[in-house]
Amino acid sequence: MSNVMSVREKIARRAAQEVKDGYYVNLGIGMPTLVANHLPTDIGVMLQSENGLLGIGPYPTAEQVDPDLINAGKETVTAVAGAVYFDSAESFGMIRGGHIDLAILGGMEVSAEGHLANWVIPGQMVKGMGGAMDLVHGAKRVVVIMEQLTKHGKPKILNACSLPLTGKNVVHRIITEQAVFDITEEGLKLVETAEGFTIEQIRAAVEPELLVDDNVRLNAY
Residue 4: per-residue pLDDT:
57
In sequence order, which ranges of the chain are alpha helices (DSSP H)? 3-16, 88-96, 132-138, 199-204
84-88, 121-125, 199-203, 215-219: segment of lowest average pLDDT: 121-125
Distance in angstroms (rounded) separating the CA atoms of residues 6 and 16: 15
Residue 129 has pLDDT above 80, yes or no: no
The pLDDT of residue 163 is above 70:
yes
Which of 50, 109, 177, 192 is catalytic? The answer is: 50
How far does CA 53 lie from the centroid of its chain? 18
Reply yes or no on whether the pLDDT at 1 is more than 50: no
- 63 given a catalytic annotation: no
Q: If pLDDT is split at 50, 70 and 90, which confidence band does 121 have?
A: confident
26 burial via Cβ count (<10 Å: 0-12, 13-18, 19+): buried
Q: Are 73 and 33 in contact (CB under 8 A)?
A: yes
Residue 207 CA: distances (Å) to CA of 95, 110, 217:
32, 10, 21
Domains of the chain by residue range: 3-217
Residue type, 144: V
* Span 49-53, average pLDDT: 92
pLDDT of residue 74: 86
What percent of the chain stands above pLDDT 90? 83
What is the CATH architecture of 3-217? 3-Layer(aba) Sandwich (3.40)
Across the range 168-195, mean pLDDT stands at 98
Global pTM reads: 0.93
- Model confidence over 64-105: pLDDT tens digits? 999 999 988 889 999 999 999 999 899 999 999 999 999 999
Asked if residue 2 has pLDDT above 60, the reply is: no
Instruction: State residue 76's pLDDT score.
Output: 92
pLDDT digits (tens, 9 = 90+) for 16-42: 999 999 999 999 988 998 998 899 889
Which range in 40-49, 71-80, 156-165 is most confidently predicted, on average pLDDT? 156-165
Average pLDDT of the segment spanning 153-157: 98
Q: Is the model's pLDDT at 5 over the cut of 80?
A: no
Q: pLDDT category, 55, cuts 50, 70, 90?
A: very high
More confident residue, 56 or 3: 56
The pLDDT mean for the chain works out to 93
At 57 the pLDDT is: 87
